[in-house]
Amino acid sequence: MTQSRTIWLHVCDMGAIPRLGTRVLSHESGDIALFRTESDKVFALRDRCPHKGGALSLGIVHGEKVTCPLHAWNIDLATGEACAPDVGCAQRFAVRVEAGEVYVSLDAQAGGAADATALAAVV
């Protein structure tokens, strides 16, 4: 049996993600979008809509959802699931905020190379 491990990567400070806005992290496995809600919760999803691959980071954040800019699917930020009646799921990444600093966990078993050098913030 393989044990999973959690590696937390420091990404940025909270102030780098605007309220109701996004920030994109480039990673060798694909871009990851960080979303900050009005109540300062932070979520991370693969920056690829489960419908036809639109960039969720260009969508509109409202409540704990983002509306995709291409065809207006609503995606739940906590689960990555499309809201009914649409069906699909964007890959979700765990986020931790500690003392105003944002950390993301990449699941090593999902193929993400979990090393800090592979992750770079894109403004």
DSSP-assigned letter for residue 15:
G
Residue window 87-116: x/- pattern of binding to ligand FES, with contact defined by CB under 6 A: ------------------------------
The answer to whether the CB of 83 falls within 8 A of the CB of 65 is yes
- The number of helix segments (H) and strand segments (E) in the chain equals 0, 10
78 by Cβ neighbours in 10 Å (0-12 / 13-18 / 19+) ranks as exposed
62 token code pair: 């409202």
Give yes or no for residue 66 binding ligand FES (CB under 6 A): no
Give yes or no for residue 80 binding ligand FES (CB under 6 A): no
- Of the residues 5, 10, 41, 71, which one makes contact with ligand FES according to CB under 6 A: 71
- Of the residues 58, 70, 97, 108, which one makes contact with ligand FES according to CB under 6 A: 70
- Give residues in contact with ligand FES (CB under 6 A): 49, 51-54, 68, 70-71, 73
